[in-house]
Amino acid sequence: MSIYKKMVKRFGILFFILGFLLNRGTEVSAQEKVYIIGTDTTYAPFEYVDEEGDFVGIDMDLLEAIAEDQGFEYELRILGFNAAVQALESNQVDGVIAGMSITDERKEAFDFTDPYYSSGSQFAVLEDSEVDSLEDLEGKIVAVKTGTTGFDVATELSEEYGFTLNVFEDSVNMYEDMQVGNSVAVVEDYPVMLYAHSTGRIRLKFIGEQQAVADNGLAVNKGENQELLQMFNDGLANLRASGEYEEIIARYLGEEALEEENKNQNIIVQFINNLEPLMEGLWQTIWLSFVSFFIALIFGVIIGLMRTSDVSLLNILAQIYIDIMRGSPLIVLAFFIYFGIPQMTGLKFNANIAGIITLSLNATAYIAEIVRGGIQAVNKGQVEAGKSLGLTNSITMRRIILPQASKIAMPSLINQFVITLKDTSILSVIGIVELTQTGKIIIARTYQSGSIWLIIGAMYIILITVLTKLSNRLEKEL
């Protein structure tokens, strides 16, 4: 049996494990449907994580109250606005609630519930800014959030008032861009700006009138999950009749809510107050890295052997795979696996499985080249020595070449593991709350990005340093 067949047989159980996890990630109870609801990650006061680590906000409290009133079950997928909409289009989720404006364009693709809130997009600048009107924005830069009504409004008015746009994925980065002076204004839904202003860490001055005032609703794909729409509408009507609806709105936008004092905290207090979510994010980063790298190491060795094979077909196939993976940006690969494949084939992955597949496919290509380089660095005389002893090619490779090649390749493999660990931060685009995404969620509540990013950076440095030291010790032992 050749070395290739032995490796495939030895690690074939991995396919079984992945299949088992995939089935667990996609199974739905046949007795009672659990609706998967996509939402944003950092969109206070509609959805955000509070100091206790609970996911709260107008949307979250309304959904919880309506589900209790109507007796249906749901599961949240915290993805970010753009990713949530893509997940709905690819049927990864049953509905989206994320302060989503009901527009004519969106109605062509989605069905909406009755409106549960109405607001418009508002321009704002820093409180001490000299800009007092939209006319003063001529020749200046305005920060906007992609995929939102505010983005559409700013795009439409940019020519009329002569400003250009800086586009961001989340609200917090918009405000950060304005605070550091790259942009002079931001455009956002008025309640979100009001909340940001109420924290006391960003003092805003609103300019102009609210633009494109629109209703917000829960969205489902056109013609699908109509029973969810009906239950939401019925529950919303009941909440309005009982007065609970007004209580929920006042909880986040009432005078008492907006007068709550949010004191700046030093970096030590920030770390202590957010220790639990930071540790959870760190663990998510670690286990994703190890599982992905382990799988990539197995298949990287196989493809690396194919690259050094005398069989032309194997060599060509390995080279094609490596070229495709190394030429594909990791974020594009993640989007394709999590959103593209389900939309094209109907095969769904949960976020963790999609993340592992993404990291593994990417790292496999680089590990294959590391293995190829290690094998080719072994003196060719070793092969001749194996033949002179009467050993077969597979035994020579397994017993003589690979042990020497692994020692040569070890520093590069350690470096690739570090790269894979840092690449986990990209997986936040498909809703995985690893260490970097945890930082974004905390900042969305506190608006203290400097201290939080310093904490996150220190945690990465410590983690990578410790793992590198352990790997170097392993290298010496080998």
Q: Which is higher by pLDDT, 274 or 18?
A: 274
- The 3-state secondary structure of the chain reads CCHHHHHHHHCCHHHHHHHHHHHHHHCCCCCCCEEEEEECCCECCCEEECCCCCEECHHHHHHHHHHHHHCCEEEEEECCHHHHHHHHHCCCCCEECCCCECCHHHHCCEEECCCCEEEEEEEEEECCCCCCCHHHHCCCEEEEECCCHHHHHHHHHHHHHCCEEEEECCHHHHHHHHHCCCCCEEEEEHHHHHHHHHCCCCCEEEEEEEEEEEEECCEEECCCCHHHHHHHHHHHHHHHHHCHHHHHHHHHHCHHHHHCCCCCCCHHHHHHHCHHHHHHHHHHHHHHHHHHHHHHHHHHHHHHHHHCCCCHHHHHHHHHHHHHHHHCCHHHHHHHHHHHHHHHHCCCCCHHHHHHHHHHHHHHHHHHHHHHHHHHHCCCHHHHHHHHCCCCHHHHHHHHHHHHHHHHHHHHHHHHHHHHHHHHHHHHHHCCCCHHHHHHHHHHHHCCHHHHHHHHHHHHHHHHHHHHHHHHHHHHHC
Fold of 3-12+271-477: MetI-like fold (1.10.3720)
Report domain 33-116+217-262's class: alpha beta
Could you tell me the residue ranges of all domains in the chain? 3-12+271-477, 33-116+217-262, 119-213
CATH 1.10.520.10 for domain 119-213, yes or no, is no
Whether the pTM exceeds 0.75: the reply is: no
pLDDT digits (tens, 9 = 90+) for 196-212: 777 667 788 999 888 88
pLDDT at 257 over 60: no
Q: Which is higher by pLDDT, 378 or 157?
A: 157
pLDDT at residue number 255: 60
pLDDT at 1 over 50: no
Same fold, 33-116+217-262 and 119-213: yes
pLDDT at residue number 387: 66
pLDDT at residue number 292: 94
Average pLDDT over residues 133-162: 90
Residue 330: band (very low, low, confident or very high) from pLDDT cuts 50, 70, 90: very high
pLDDT digits (tens, 9 = 90+) for 358-410: 999 999 999 999 988 887 777 776 666 766 676 666 776 666 777 777 787 78
Average pLDDT over residues 435-462: 84
pLDDT digits (tens, 9 = 90+) for 331-356: 999 989 988 888 888 787 888 899 99
pLDDT digits (tens, 9 = 90+) for 98-126: 988 898 889 999 999 999 998 888 899 99
pLDDT at residue number 13: 47
